[in-house]
Amino acid sequence: MQTKNLSIPNISCGHCVMTIQRELGEIDGVSKVEGDPAAKEITVEWEEPATLEKIKSTLKEINYPATD
């Protein structure tokens, strides 16, 4: 199991976090997604077959690109 905090500058509210949770939750292997709109961060937990690259590319596709 891997865990990573990602900075997401585009997060502005709880709805943003819910969108990210829904989209990342569809990736095989992602087990948990938590977000903090005030800090503009999310925490993602995953295992194979999910990868950090897949998570980041999904975030970019839904217009919430990660910076780290």
Q: Over range 31-49, report the average pLDDT.
A: 97
Q: Over range 23-30, report the average pLDDT.
A: 97
At residue 20 the predicted structure's pLDDT band, cuts being 50, 70 and 90, is very high
Which pLDDT score, from 0 to 100, does residue 68 have? 66
Dist CA 42 CA 20 (whole Å): 9
Dist CA 68 CA 7 (whole Å): 6
Structure tokens at 63: 């217009």
Dist CA 58 CA 39 (whole Å): 20
- Per the domain annotation, does 22 fall within a domain? yes
- 26 is in which domain, residue-wise? 2-61
For residue 55, give the CATH number of its domain.
3.30.70.100
- 12 φ/ψ angles, rounded to the nearest 5 degrees: -125, -15
Tally the domains of the chain.
1
Q: Which residues pair with 44 in a beta bridge?
A: 4, 33
- Per the domain annotation, does 68 fall within a domain? no
Dist CA 25 CA 14 (whole Å): 16
Which pLDDT score, from 0 to 100, does residue 58 have? 97
Q: Over range 34-62, report the average pLDDT.
A: 97
